[in-house]
Amino acid sequence: EIVLTQSPATLSLSPGERATLSCRASQSVSSYLAWYQQKPGQAPRLLIYDASNRATGIPARFSGSGSGTDFTLTISSLEPEDFAVYYCQQRSNWLFTFGPGTKVDIK
């Protein structure tokens, strides 16, 4: 099983700041990595798929990069609605796993 590690566990930032979230895989997942956002009491929402493709309706301030084992989600300038938990997820031969999440909270 491929294990995903996310860092940091919590990121405390102010609106307008840049957020950089990391996801590392225990072995290569090529570009088969997605990012999801989850707010309290809500279902997760797909942000980025295949490492760098924004999902439908996702603002341009969200971007993804990386391949192999190291991936990054960047939020260029945090809006109030971006404070949430972010999960990475890999897809490899029907063996799908999620990372433990990074919480982005207001400083």
What does residue 34 show for φ and ψ, rounded to 5 degrees?
-125, 160
Q: Which is nearer to other proteins, 37 or 82 (CB)?
A: 37
Kindly state whether residue 94 participates in binding other proteins, applying the rule CB under 8 A.
Answer: yes
Stretch that binds other proteins, among 13-21, 58-66, 67-75, 98-106 (CB under 8 A): 98-106
Q: What angle do CA 48, 49, 55 make, to 5 degrees?
A: 55
Q: How far is the CB of 30 from other proteins (least distance, A)?
A: 12
Q: How far is the CB of 34 from other proteins (least distance, A)?
A: 5
Distance CA 43, CA 49 (A): 17
